[in-house]
Structure 1
């Protein structure tokens, strides 16, 4: 693996360098078969996108491209590179991977933390438009929005359309991607690098970070100036559901009597029958009781609950309210939450959009915001060991959670960050934006900061963009929340 990786790096380095007079013939011979590949791998500027900001040239710098990884660079990973709006030559660079697995980071770029936000459509029959996001994280850092693992978004395998990947392989692909990206963009080799993601990426990102660290320890070139990672409402281990009953009880979604019965049936005296145990029946009842709540944001109604689906389909869920309003700046809307995958696919699958993004024709059949049939083996069920190992190396980390998320309750994140048993150097306290309390935070001696965001959901930056931007800006600048 290391030998193959080094060989691929050498090809890219030699093809991107001016050969000296001595050895010109040798270098040209070695590089000749790779010239077209290297040229194709470098990012291409995107000057404008259809239906974005009244068809005007983009007011931010966007490049897209593919990087080949794996054996013979068979895996082609697609990325969107948005340069920092402040000082891209010095600002940190974050490689962001959306969750799923199988969700394209186009979502993060246009509906969450990127420079664009999807406008609320007037009806479902027209393509969406996009406006500038005043709370884009690219105002203080450059972002590489990466479609990972292979099969996600526009990333594909040349040898097989349904290439099966797994979590370990995806993390290694990500680390290889960054090193090759730095060869294509040598001007950023001294910038600080971070990796980040949310939801399912809570499992992948710590492994991704570990793969980067391992590469640096092995002295792979170019070295990555790696500083740390950040996770939002991330899946860390598959016992998060242990906290859902406590969360649901705390917010009044279930009764105290039902919570006590479930604890008795599932923990104190579990039924050993092979089918339909009391615990399983309790879980069914729990789902029925909480079904009406949107699990990603319990302050809203489920997309499939009574009237919810009808309102979304008919467009009645669209409420033309102001999106940004002081400290409670909120772009959340049920219509977008329930239909954004279909709306985004309607837009991205337009030929002119793919041409503007420089997508290789024929590389994929149909783009999906979140691919449900991704050939992927989720072979890591617990990422705690990676957090523990990264902590020993002193990397920075930001773990944040919206406190209205039933999928990944903030209680779980608070428990596992504390379970690493590092001393607390800044104990539990509120943090503020515009002199208003927006959450609680604590910082540990292993450079890990935990932040709870009040009134936010599973995709916190989409629900509370101002608060999350303030959080990210302070953390990436080494400031206290």
Structure 2
């Protein structure tokens, strides 16, 4: 906490690097929304240069909420969330294919910027277009990442004082479930001791969040059984032989290891972010270790991206076909120039930095104690789960939410979009603290990517204090 406060106070006079972007390669006209990109330096000597994209709300930026959005990972670029999940632009696959596979951008009618201003940040150094000025900048841990983002946010608001009074939410999905609760706690601690500027923190938003290593990874087996990916016999045998524990199994427990191998045989050919969709890998999948670890939260897309077809081909549609365009686009020099990326600071843009992940210090095993502390904070929380996600299944999320021992405020009930069930929701309370949990029916690990219309409806209602 203290280092975050001291760094902000010491460097608050520094001017950040920021530019307005009006045109982007692949989009035919002037952007119909306000996009700013820039860098903010954090660390004792600002050795970590964090790149961000800021998009003003398309409704009323003066009063609409401000979201700091973190993509999972660790080490996964915010550009992915911007173009495939909640941002105002996405890649038009059909148009790109007909234009000789030149990435073409189109407007996303379900962008979360319809109702909120959003800061997308590439955290940490080595992620996306963020970089370090020395080798030490790339040595990152869970706690240091949260510290850097705390500093980033305060410095960003100092340089954008007209957003100081907007309702603030910290938001993100996947591995950011480890980082966001830490940031929230640090902000509240800073406000309590009078750190300036004070942040008007209303709450936080987590999508398919990784929160507790034991609960989340162990829930994969139960989830697979619930959705009929495992037989009754195999599930019962594994539960008994492994004593309900599927992580770091004793190598002498041959029966459990045999069960887990059989479970892997059932699951490893699935598209794990959404088990309902086809898995279109053209490279043989890498062998999977029975000891599932956090690096499996981010899929190695080099195994899943296929060669670009000349046009959309007949046969099953594969989500991975669309992913190749962001690699082409983000590594185009004209794109980087338009985004005002500093020349020579990165070699190649990638969705997730595997080298960073290998060297990363995963030093927070669980955030449940922080969540318990925050139940006394009076904040609002939205947690949503795409219900077809095998990476961080809803089963584990519901388990740890129930462990917070909150009072049930609204019972489990369906919520609707266009008269159809879009998922199920339940609301919990502890005095003025509220936690809304929602499933998004048919969605995968990054719910807005799979169900954009429903996800925007969920966010809009929740931000407006309506029932989902």
Task: State if a TM-score over 0.5 links the two structures.
Answer: yes
Q: Deviations over 1:13-62 (max 9, x none)?
A: 4xxxxxxxxxxxxxxxxxxxx5xxx1xx142100110012x2x1100100
What's the counterpart of residue 422 of structure 2?
438
Matched, 1:133 2:108: yes
Retained in 2: the 8 A contact 1:441–1:450?
A: yes
1:196 equivalent to 2:171? Answer yes
Write out aligned runs for 1:205-354 (5 A).
Answer: 205-239=180-214, 240-267=216-243, 274=251, 277-304=254-281, 312-313=306-307, 315=309, 318=312, 335-337=318-320, 340=323, 342-354=324-336
Cα distance in structure 1, aligned partners of 2:305 and 2:342? 38
Instruction: Find the counterpart in structure 1 of residue 347 from structure 2.
Output: 365
Stretch moving more, 345-354 or 125-134:
125-134
Query: Following the alignment from structure 1 to structure 2, what is the Cα–Cα distance between the partners of residues 269 and 49?
Result: 50
Please name the residue that 1:473 is paired with: 460
Separation in 2, partners of 1:260, 1:124: 53
Question: Residues 399 and 449 of structure 1 are in contact (CA less than 8 Å); yes or no, is this contact kept in structure 2?
Answer: yes
Equivalent of 1:390 in 347, 364, 374: 374
8 Å Cα contact 2:101-2:310 kept in structure 1? no
Secondary structure in 2 matching 1:103: coil
In the alignment, the residues of structure 2 paired with residue 384 and residue 5 of structure 1 have an alpha-carbon distance, to the nearest angstrom, of 24
Larger radius of gyration: 1
Deviations 1:415-452 (A, max 9, x none): 21111001011111110111111111011013110001
- Residues of 2 paired with 1:358 and 1:105: CA distance? 16
**How many pairs are equivalent?**
442
| Cα deviation digits, residues 256-314 of structure 1 (max 9, x gap) | 01111111210179998635732222222211112232111011122338999899446
Matched residues in 1 for 2:304 and 2:99: separation? 13
Partner of 1:378: 362
Following TM superposition, by how much is the alpha carbon of 1:69 offset from its aligned partner in structure 2, in angstroms?
1.1
Q: How does 1:51-130 map to 2 (within 5 A)?
A: 51-52=26-27, 54=28, 56-120=29-93, 121-122=96-97, 126-130=101-105
**Structure 1 unaligned spans of 5+:** 14-33, 322-332
Once residues 344 and 161 of structure 1 are traced to their aligned partners in structure 2, the CA distance between those partners, rounded to angstroms, is 29
Name the counterpart of 1:151. Answer: 126
- Check 1:425–1:320 CA distance in 2 against 1; reply closer, same or farther (3 A cut): farther
Change in CA separation of 1:110 and 1:426 when aligned onto 2, cut-off 3 Å: same
Change (3 A) 1:288 1:269: closer
Partner SS state of residue 392, structure 1: coil
Take 1:320 and 1:448, find their aligned partners in 2: how far apart are those partners?
A: 44
1:454 aligned onto 2:454: no
**What corresponds to 1:464 in structure 2?**
451
**TM-score, length of structure 2 as denominator length:** 0.88
**1:124 Cα deviation from its structure 2 partner:** 11
TM-score, length of structure 1 as denominator length: 0.86
Alignment RMSD:
2.7
Match of residue 19 from structure 1: none
Between stretches 91-100 and 382-391, larger displacement belongs to 382-391
